[in-house]
Amino acid sequence: MNSITLTIDGKSVEARSGETILDAARSLGIDVPTLCHHKDLLPHGSCRLCLVELKQGARSQLVASCGYYVKNGLTVETDSPRVQRARKLVLEILFASLHENTDIQRYARRYGVSRSRYKRSLEYCVLCGLCVRYCQEVKKADCIGFVGRGVHREVAWIPLSRYDDTCKKCMDCQAICPTGVFPSNWGMASPAVES
């Protein structure tokens, strides 16, 4: 019951119930790009880099591998033409903003992304939610959160939270930030539109 068999990129793989497609793919040594995923945090599914193609007979769909739990008999393609096309379009948004992030730059090269047509810069925050979720789920502190909708969304320090007794001694959220730009959380800097 506990052992699940699925097929990833033509190879059969055993996985445990509760593992995601991403876990199973990585156990095979497949390099699936991720950004908003973190091993200690619940799946968020916001960056869409980890999309893989799930084949069911003639039908197929793209799913976020970081949040899709393994099931017996799944057939998954991690780098099919359809995946490549979508991933390339996602990377076009990320790579121009995350120039300090070596993983993203490596993936951009892998998928042949060398320019971005997007005007909005996400240099200070790509809204991956890692810091927010880390604070909530690991520190159980809820000191930062998202505010605003759509392009107005940003990370903000929650009023009345425990900056003095908690944040000052922690700052873990800054280490987890994939932008590498200091300091990018707490709405100290929000993504600016280049004019």
Partner 1 sequence: MNKLASAQDLENLRQRVAEGNKAGVTLSLCCGTGCGANGSKKVFDALSAELAKRGLRNVTVKRTGCHGFCERGPILIVFPSEICYLSVTPERIPEIVSKTVENGLVVEDLVWRDGGKLFARHSEIPFYAHQKRRLLANNTVLDPTDINDYIGCGGYAALARALFSLTPQQVIEEIRKAGLRGRGGGGFPTATKWEATRSAADPVKYVVVNGDEGDPGAYMDRSLLEGNPHSVLEGLLIGAYAVGAAQGYFYIRQEYPLALENARRAIAQAEEKGLLGDNILGSPFSFRVGIHQGAGAFVSGESSALLSAIEGHVGEPRLKYVRMSESGLRGKPTTLNNVETWANVPLIVAKGADWFSSAGTAASTGTKIFSLVGKVRNTGLVEVPMGATLRQIVFDIGGGMQNGKTFKAVQTGGPSGGCIPAQHLDAKVDFDTLAGLGSMMGSGGMIVMDDDSCMVDVARYFVDFLKEESCGKCLPCREGISEMSSILNRIVKGQGKPDDLDFLEDIAVLLSEASLCGLGSSAANPVMSTLRYFRKEYEEHIFQKRCSALACKSLIAFHIAAAKCTGCGLCRKQCPVCAIGGVAKSAHRIDQALCIKCGVCLEVCPSKFGAVTKMSPASSLANLQKQ
Residues lying near ligand FES in the complex (CB under 6 A) are found at 34-37, 45-50, 64, 66
3-state DSSP call for residue 48? coil
Binding to ligand SF4 by residue 177, rule CB under 6 A? yes
**By CB under 6 A, is residue 51 in contact with ligand SF4?**
no
Nearest CA to 144 out of 152, 43, 130 is that of 130
Residue 105 CA to residue 167 CA, distance in Å, equals 31
Query: From the list ligand SF4, partner 1, ligand FES, none, which binds 185 (C-beta under 5 to 8 Å, kind-based)?
Result: ligand SF4
C-alpha to C-alpha distance for 95 and 82, rounded to whole angstroms: 20
Tell me if 170 contacts partner 1 by CB under 8 A: no
**Strand, coil or helix: 75:** strand
Which of 5/60 has CB closer to partner 1?
60
Residues counted in the chain = 195
Q: Binding residue for partner 1 (CB under 8 A) from 55, 82, 110, 139?
A: 82
Smallest distance from the beta carbon of 20 to ligand SF4, in angstroms?
19
SS3 132: helix
Which option in partner 1, ligand FES, ligand SF4, none does residue 50 bind, with CB closer than 5 to 8 A by kind? ligand FES
105, 138, 153, 190: which one binds partner 1 (CB under 8 A) = 153
Q: Are 192 and 124 in contact (CB under 8 A)?
A: yes
